[in-house]
Chains A and B, each alone.
Chain A
Amino acid sequence: MAHVISDETIEYVGILAKLELSEEEKAQAKKDMGNMLDYMDMLNDLDTEGVEPLFHVYPLSNVFREDVVENGDERDRMLANAPEEKEGAFKVPKTVE
């Protein structure tokens, strides 16, 4: 039962991911997503009765930091990665809600 991804779905997922896809990329993405969903269906066929859900691949829990300030002023280093900066801040296109 192969999944067929509609053009609307690809369009929508593209918008959510802020991706501009070419027609060829869209066709490829449709195929890939269909395959992934088919794979999920296969998982759905398995009997998982009594199996605890796995949320993390490592058998770890409770990894904490104590509430102590460790970092100093690293502004220059952080801003070194900014495409543009102004007055100690990251400069971005005007964004108003």
Chain B
Amino acid sequence: MNRQYETVIGLEVHVELATETKIFCGCSTRFGGAPNTHTCPVCTGMPGALPVLNRQVVEYAAAVGLATGCTINQCCRFDRKNYFYPDNPQNYQISQLYEPICRDGHIDIDTPSGIKRIGIHEIHMEEDAGKLIHDEWEDCSLVDFNRSGVPLIEIVSEPDMSSAEEVIAYLEKLRLIIRYLGASDCRLQEGSMRADVNLSVRKAGSRELGTRTEMKNLNSFKAIARAIEGERDRQIELLEMGRQVVQETRRWDDNKEASHAMRSKEDARDYRYFPEPDLVPVLISDEWLERIRAGQPELRTQKLIRYKKEFDIPDYDAQIITSEKKLADLFEAASAICKKPKKVSNWLMGETMRLLKEREMEADELSFSPEHLAELIRLTGEGVINGSVAKEVFLKIFLEDVDPVKYVEDHGLKTVNDEGALQETVEKVLADNPQSVADYRSGKEKALGFLVGQTMKAMKGKADPQAVNRMLKERI
């Protein structure tokens, strides 16, 4: 039955920008302050308070626009969107309707059938609302305006997506671009990235769009995927029963894996937008735009091409390393110092990834310096420490960014290159393990491994395993 229908999906993605201050006042945007400690007359909507635009918001919005192939509207303006809700103290939200800052962009996503271009209709700047906390004890709600006035950009896609997979691919790409730009950390769980899904279904091959619904409260990629599938099935079921899809906003409940219609907004949907009289137009000169363009970091697509040319690392490694700007920055900086990109890549792909996973950390939380990783690689390369000691030291670098040279020195971890001491130990191990010696002589290669292990143990792990191997073979 599902195959007779196709799904049409467009997204509205809100992203909180990584500015220090709010969009229209000098209050901090820091997350997690006690309620209303980051507020002032502007962001609590006191009569007479006047907004002044944060320059950085324009720069971030334009940077995201440039990185997604948008045309930057060099004369953009703000508008008022009027509605009543307690989290909105002015009774209007300052947003952009008529002249948004960016238009007509796109993001290319990879799909099983090749690259697909998803259009971006527009990107506009606006302010976030406060937060409502529902009081369990009294029949009331409490308003915290710390988030009120936090700068947002809303990225409105064209209805070009047709499956949950495409939606996730689009969101991941968008998130990556914005994180690379440093414009936002884009954390869905914490609400610094929020996606509303507009979805309709139509008979396969039909050119007309069906009635769409808008789904809110989607705070993970998994929830988005489940909500899309749930809503698609719900709409198809309605149509199959000969009923109509009602244009409405629905709230996804990920625990119940079902959505329900939110308070009908029939009377509230009329936002009566008009030009914001308290803010003057934003004129982005060619010079300003050029400065923003020049300040753009290299994005992932370009990085991948360059890595292929510059570094001798597998494509798979390059894909993973460039999936987070933090990893790519570490990789490039450490490689530039030690000139051994393959080794740097191995440390990032192996131990770093393993430790991140083990500690449930994100790559952007990595705090060690590329210098220390490069030093570690040098120490290993020069045979100052052996592989297992290197892992031990790396853990310390990962956790506390210790200086490996000093750490190895202080803890006496240097490989013992004293041939005399090693020879003595080898002799003793051979004398103590006549059976293994006999086994090796009779062709059991494994026995050598045991003897190497015994020697390393006797040397407290500080011998060079290759030297041990060589010496044992010579002696037997």
Q: CA A61 – CA B277 in complex, angstroms?
A: 12
> Which residues of chain B are near A63, meaning CB under 8 Å?
52-53, 279-280
Q: What is A's interface to B at a CB cutoff of 8 Å? A: 12, 15-16, 18, 55-56, 58, 60-71, 73-75, 78-79, 81, 86-97
Evaluate contact between A65 and B139: CB separation under 8 angstroms: no
Q: How far is the CA of A88 from the CA of B20 in the complex (A)?
A: 23
Decide: B145 and A90 in contact? CB cutoff 8 A.
yes
11 A–B contacts from the bound complex (CB under 8 Å) = A56-B280, A62-B282, A75-B35, A88-B34, A88-B144, A89-B36, A90-B142, A91-B143, A92-B141, A94-B141, A95-B141
Tell me which residues across on chain B come within 8 A of A90, comparing CB atoms: 36, 86, 142-143, 145
On whether the beta carbons of B282 and A61 are closer than 8 Å, the reply is: yes
B117 at the interface (CB under 8 A from A): no
Q: Which residue of A lies closest to B82 (CB)?
A: A16
B283 / chain A contacts, CB cutoff of 8 Å: 61-62
Which among A67, A73, A74, A94 is the interface contact of B19 at CB below 8 angstroms? A67
Does B93 count as interface, using CB distance less than 8 angstroms?
no
On whether the beta carbons of A68 and B20 are closer than 8 Å, the reply is yes
Q: Are A74 and B40 in contact (CB under 8 A)?
A: yes
The CA-CA distance from A12 to B268 in the complex, in Å, is: 10
Do the beta carbons of A92 and B143 come within 8 Å of each other?
Answer: yes
B465 within 8 A of A: no
In the complex, are the beta carbons of B39 and A74 less than 8 A apart? yes
Do the beta carbons of B281 and A61 come within 8 Å of each other? yes
> Contact: A94 with B139, CB < 8 Å?
yes
Interface window among B130-138, B183-191, B302-310 = B130-138
The residues of B that contact A56 with a CB separation of less than 8 Å are 275, 277, 280-281
Interface string of B7-44 (1 = CB under 8 A from A): 00000000000011100011110000011111111001
Q: What are the residues of chain B within 8 A of A71 when measuring CB–CB?
A: 25-28, 38, 40
Is B361 positioned at the interface, with any CB of A under 8 Å from its CB? no
- B27 in contact with A69 (CB, 8 Å): yes
Q: Chain B: which residue is nearest A73 at the CB level?
A: B37
Measured between beta carbons, the chain B residues less than 8 angstroms from A64 are 52-55, 58
Inter-chain contacts of A94 with B (CB < 8 A): 134-135, 139-141
List of A residues within 8 angstroms of B36 by Cβ: 75, 78-79, 88-90
A31 to B68, CA, bound (A): 50
B26 touches A65 (CB 8 A): yes
Nearest CB in chain B: distance from A27 CB, A: 22
What is the interface of chain B, defined by CB distance below 8 A to chain A? Answer: 19-21, 25-28, 34-41, 44, 46, 52-56, 58, 77, 82, 84-86, 132-135, 138-145, 251, 262-263, 267-268, 270, 272, 275, 277, 279-283
User: Is the beta-carbon distance between B142 and A89 smaller than 8 angstroms?
Assistant: yes
Asked if A18 contacts B134 (CB within 8 A), the reply is: no
Most chain A beta-carbon contacts within 10 A, residue among B132, B133, B139, B145: B132
Contact A16 B272 (CB under 8 A): yes
Task: Return the chain B residue nearest A67 by Cβ.
Answer: B56
The minimal Cβ–Cβ distance linking A78 to chain B, given in whole angstroms, is 5
Which 6 A-B residue pairings sit nearest by Cβ, starting from the closest?
A: A70-B26, A89-B142, A67-B56, A64-B55, A90-B143, A88-B35
Whole-angstrom distance between the alpha carbons of A78 and B149 in the complex?
A: 15
Q: How far is the CA of A75 from the CA of B277 in the complex (A)?
A: 28
What residues of A have a CB within 8 angstroms of the CB of B40 in the complex? 71, 74, 78
Q: Quick check: A97 and B263 within 8 Å, CB to CB?
A: yes
**B residues within 8 A CB of A69?**
20-21, 26-28
Q: How far is the CB of A72 from chain B (nearest CB, A)?
A: 9
A67 to B24 CA separation, bound complex (whole angstroms): 10
Chain B nearest CB from A15 CB (Å) reads 5
Collect the chain B residues with CB atoms within 8 Å of residue A12's CB.
267
A96 and B134 within 8 A (CB)? yes
Q: A65 to B134, alpha carbons, bound, how many Å?
A: 34
Chain A residues with CB under 8 A of B46: 81
Instruction: For residue A90, give the distance in angstroms from its CB to the closest CB of chain B.
Output: 4
In the assembled complex, the CB of A37 is this many whole angstroms from the nearest CB of chain B, namely: 15
- Contact across chains for A75 and B20 when beta carbons are under 8 A apart: no
Min CB distance B263 to A, Å, is 6
Evaluate contact between A68 and B26: CB separation under 8 angstroms: yes
Are B21 and A91 in contact (CB-based, < 8 A)? no
* Residues from chain B with Cβ under 8 Å of A62 in the complex: 280-283
Besides the contacts A91-B142, A92-B143, what 7 more A-B pairs have beta carbons closer than 8 Å? A16-B270, A65-B26, A89-B143, A90-B36, A92-B141, A97-B262, A97-B263
**A91 — nearest CB in chain B belongs to which residue?**
B140
B contact residues around A75 at 8 Å (CB): 34-37, 39
Contact status B141-A93, CB under 8 Å: yes
Establish whether residues B275 and A55, one from each chain, have CB atoms under 8 Å apart when the complex forms: yes
How far apart sit A3 and B267, CA to CA, in the bound complex (Å)? Answer: 23
Contact of A95 among B86, B262, B275 (CB under 8 A): B86
Chain A hits for B34, CB < 8 A: 75, 88
A67: chain B residues at CB < 8 Å are 19-21, 54-56
Write out the residue numbers on chain A whose beta carbons fall within 8 Å of the beta carbon of B142.
86-87, 89-92
How far apart are the CA atoms of A81 and B26 in the complex, in Å? Answer: 20
Chain A residues with CB under 8 A of B145: 78, 90
Shortest CB–CB separation between residue B60 and chain A, in angstroms? 10
A55-B77, A63-B53 known; A89 and B84 CB under 8 Å? Answer: no
